[in-house]
Chains A and B, each alone.
Chain A
Amino acid sequence: MERPLTQHITFPPLDLRAYEAVGGYQSVRKALKDMAPGDITALLKESNMKGRGGAGFSTGMKWSFVPMNVSGPKYLVANADEMEPGTFKDRWLLEGNPHQLIEGMIVSAYAIQATESFVFLRWAYKVAAVEIHKAIKEAYAAGYLGKNILGTDFSLDMHLHTGVGRYMCGEETALLNSLEGKRATPRAKPPFPQVSGLFGKPTIVNNVETLCYIPHIINNGAAWFQSLSHTNDGGTKIYGVSGRVKKPGAWELPMGVTMRELIEEHAGGMQDGYKFRGVLPGGASTDFLVEEHMDIKMDFAGVAAAGSRLGTGTMVVLDDRTCPVGFVHNLEHFFAQESCGFCTPCREGLPWTEKLLLAIEQGEGREEDLAMLASHAKMMGPGNTFCALAPGAMEPLQSALKYFRDDFEQHIREKRCPYHA
């Protein structure tokens, strides 16, 4: 089985010479010398590459919105602000093969004719910061970055920006505000960043895993990309499992493996003495799936049909000895804390749900609290808030109320948490 993204991951990562020796930077030669920018965007569209950051939007489509016949700066940003709780896939790519990201960024920047690029890295990824800094320096020295790359007309600068916290920075327009030195609050769309992004100039923000895939699609083509997958969503995907499983970890697997395969085979099944109750399939802001969904295919359409989202593809397992109310309270505490406070439903609603959940968990819940929680889930749903933070926060809550309702009711009835005897 092919594992294009992770095949050359080592710790410490390959330096530039070693990376070139395994075929690294070939796609830069091919793209800059043999392909027009529009060819690359067309190839991405043909491959049906869907963004790996969580939303699953077509990468080629996203790029195609960048105006091509304008002068002045354009920007490409790698979103390496991996902060979705339960997600640890980009860390692997960043620490284990930074040149792959840089190569993908150069080709992507060429496709949209960007003049400057940024890696927006979260503060906590200290090892990644050192490795990326080193790799960018090597790429400049080898002539892959800077003026007239490989003797062509194309020039590109690259900067590493490390953040200072806040989940909101992962939202692309908030990320751009942060790169401009401002508070990371989201911007109104339209205009979309592709037209008016960083400093008001056309900008593309892509997830690390997406950008790391670009060299492989350039080298091997759209049909190859499609052939890697079990489903219509092409390629391989980095999946991960954490929680009370025997072998938590991350694996690069064909897009569309089943949840059962991931949990039982790759993660080794549940730890002794723990039973599976549910799972957040793609990070903290995705709806719970339960036992009956074990055989769904983990691609964008498959998880959506089961009522959740593929999200980041890294799942968190809920076991039978962890309280579902406490679990959801932990999530809502996170979202309430990370709300930027810009729009009222999110700023006021999230702390309210957090308080209700804490009261229930501590045995002080009332019967009407469940209806109130359900109403919050609706009021903060899609379309009622400025950005996707609160709707994302409501996904695990609304699905917990559906699948673990008995637990909520037992807490209220017995005025205590049955998991803390």
Chain B
Amino acid sequence: MLTTSEKEQIEKEIRQVPVKKAACIEALKIVQDHRRWVSDEGIQDVADILEMSTEEVDSIATFYNLIFRQPVGRHIILLCDSISCYVMGYKELHQQIVQLLGIQYGQTTLDGRFTLLPNPCLGTCDHAPALMVDHDLYRDLRKEELENILAKYT
């Protein structure tokens, strides 16, 4: 069930669009903001309030790589794996993260602290290689810096 706060936020979005369905992505973002990911129940909740089928909502949710349909950790690491970062050696960063956290792409640490995901170009190619942790962007990275960066997130 949607919480009061989720419901209020989604209803505000519905008022801004000509048809209810058009608020689908915003609604998914709101549910994810509150619950960190969108479960089957979350899909049902969004479908109910927008008067859509669960299948249709799920087809939208699973299309977008930043709507999470599986549980994620408290912090999300998005490692840029696109071309400039490839040239500048993102693979070394990847190996180092795997070594430090013991997880592969798509996995979450056992303590629920980090989820590691690859991400297309972060648009900071003149400072490659780069990654984001939650909302924070790190650029011109050397693998030696990773341990201290990750230590900031508990």
Query: Footprint of B on A, CB under 8 Å?
Result: 82-88, 90-91, 122-127, 159, 163-167, 178-184, 199, 240-244, 248-250, 280, 284, 314, 316-319, 322, 326-327, 330-331, 333-334, 337-338, 340
Q: How far is the CA of A124 from the CA of B79 in the complex (A)?
A: 12
Nearest to B132 among chain A residues (CB) is A124
**What residues on A are CB-neighbors of B23 within 8 Å?**
181
Contact at B60–A240, with CB atoms within 8 Å? no
Query: Footprint of A on B, CB under 8 Å?
Result: 16-19, 21-26, 28-29, 59-60, 63-67, 78, 81-84, 86-88, 119-128, 132, 135, 137
> Provided the pairs A165-B66, A182-B24, A183-B59 are in contact, do residues A248 and B127 lie with their beta carbons within 8 angstroms?
yes
Q: How far is the CA of A58 from the CA of B40 in the complex (A)?
A: 46
**What residues on A are CB-neighbors of B120 within 8 Å?**
83, 85, 165, 167, 334, 337-338
Q: How far is the CA of A123 from the CA of B120 in the complex (A)?
A: 12
Nearest to B126 among chain A residues (CB) is A248
Q: How far is the CA of A338 from the CA of B120 in the complex (A)?
A: 9
Contact at A330–B86, with CB atoms within 8 Å? yes
**What residues on B are CB-neighbors of A164 within 8 Å?**
25, 28-29, 64-67
Contact at B123–A165, with CB atoms within 8 Å? no
> Provided the pairs A86-B82, A126-B137, A334-B83 are in contact, do residues A240 and B125 lie with their beta carbons within 8 angstroms?
yes
Contact at B82–A242, with CB atoms within 8 Å? no
> Provided the pairs A88-B126, A181-B22 are in contact, do residues A166 and B65 lie with their beta carbons within 8 angstroms?
yes
Contact at B123–A327, with CB atoms within 8 Å? no
**Can you give 6 A-B contacts (C-beta < 8 A)?**
A85-B121, A124-B78, A127-B137, A164-B25, A182-B60, A326-B86
Q: How far is the CA of A94 from the CA of B84 in the complex (A)?
A: 21
Contact at A181–B83, with CB atoms within 8 Å? no
**What residues on B are CB-neighbors of A241 within 8 Å?**
126
Contact at A91–B16, with CB atoms within 8 Å? no
CB of A295 to closest CB in B, whole Å? 24
**What residues on A are CB-neighbors of B126 within 8 Å?**
88, 240-242, 248-250
CB of A209 to closest CB in B, whole Å? 13
Q: How far is the CA of A244 from the CA of B132 in the complex (A)?
A: 22
Contact at A88–B124, with CB atoms within 8 Å? yes
Contact at B125–A327, with CB atoms within 8 Å? no
**What residues on B are CB-neighbors of A340 within 8 Å?**
63
Nearest to B122 among chain A residues (CB) is A124
> Provided the pairs A316-B83, A334-B83 are in contact, do residues A86 and B121 lie with their beta carbons within 8 angstroms?
yes
Contact at B25–A85, with CB atoms within 8 Å? no
Q: How far is the CA of A124 from the CA of B18 in the complex (A)?
A: 27
**What residues on B are CB-neighbors of A126 within 8 Å?**
135, 137
Q: How far is the CA of A319 from the CA of B132 in the complex (A)?
A: 26
Nearest to B68 among chain A residues (CB) is A164
Contact at A82–B26, with CB atoms within 8 Å? no
Q: How far is the CA of A318 from the CA of B63 in the complex (A)?
A: 32
CB of B71 to closest CB in A, whole Å? 18
B18, B84, B87, B135: the one within 8 Å of A199 (CB) = B18
